Amino acid sequence: MLTTMQITFALICIVASLSVVQSSTEKSGHKTKEDCLEELLTKELSNSYNYLQLSSKVGTTQGFAGFSSLYFKLSDDGVSKAHDLAKFLALRQFDSLDLIHKSGIEIHSGIHNLADDIVFGSLEQAKLQNDQTLEKVHDCHKLGDANVQDYLESNILDYHIEIDKFLQDLKERLASTTDKELT
């Protein structure tokens, strides 16, 4: 027979171990799909702002109107993806929906430090942003909610994969053009 003190001690041990497990999962991943999707929404808005920064930096500083237009278009697409994601979240009536996650919008410092080869550097920054967003999409996809997975696959994942391929192709073409000019 267990005494009251043994039962109390066992319950305290169970609660303590659960709180340790919970805090470790909070550090390593997302508590809920809502948190993950809120972070993705914030990432899309951050990307939009950062693409505008790239557009301004490349267009006004160096006069590369084509690259400026590209980044402006990517910024518009980012806002559109964020808007669609916000509608998706609102229609599913997620609890505690924050349009901007508590971590806030991330401004890439690398954008302000572009100096030497601004076109290639801006492509690097754009690709870095897109890669980080793809990583966030994969994190949300891993949570296993079929409805969320379907939405991510049909609306966000394919778009970012296409942008990743496009930016990589543009970087490679620019690098090969630069190599030909040097020889």
The CATH number of the domain holding residue 86 is 1.20.1260.10
Q: Is residue 4 part of a domain?
A: no
Higher per-residue pLDDT: 7 or 91 = 91
Higher per-residue pLDDT: 3 or 121 = 121
pTM of structure: 0.73
- 118-163: per-residue pLDDT in tens? 788 888 889 999 999 999 999 999 988 899 999 999 999 999 999 9
- Taking a C-beta distance cutoff of 8 angstroms, is the pair 104, 39 a contact? no
Q: Is residue 147 part of a domain?
A: yes
What is residue 100's DSSP assignment?
S
Q: Is residue 80 part of a domain?
A: yes
What is the band of 96 on the pLDDT scale with cuts at 50, 70, 90? low
Tally the domains of the chain.
1
- For residue 151, give every residue at least 6 positions away whose Cβ sits within 8 Å of its Cβ, in sequence order, or none: 88
Higher per-residue pLDDT: 143 or 114 = 143
Q: In whole angstroms, what is the distance from residue 176 CA to residue 161 CA? A: 22
| Cβ count within 10 A of residue 104 | 9
Q: Is residue 18 part of a domain?
A: no
**Stretch 37-60: mean pLDDT, rounded?**
87
Higher per-residue pLDDT: 106 or 123 = 123
- Please state, in angstroms and as integers, the Cα–Cα distance from residue 130 to each residue in 15, 28, 84, 104, following that order: 40, 21, 18, 18
Q: Is residue 102 part of a domain?
A: yes
- In this predicted structure, what is the pLDDT of residue 9? 52
- 51-80: per-residue pLDDT in tens? 988 888 888 766 778 888 999 999 999 999
Q: Is residue 62 part of a domain?
A: yes
Q: Is residue 6 part of a domain?
A: no
Q: In whole angstroms, what is the distance from residue 73 CA to residue 71 CA? A: 5
**Stretch 96-111: mean pLDDT, rounded?**
60
Higher per-residue pLDDT: 39 or 106 = 39
Domain that holds residue 131: 32-182
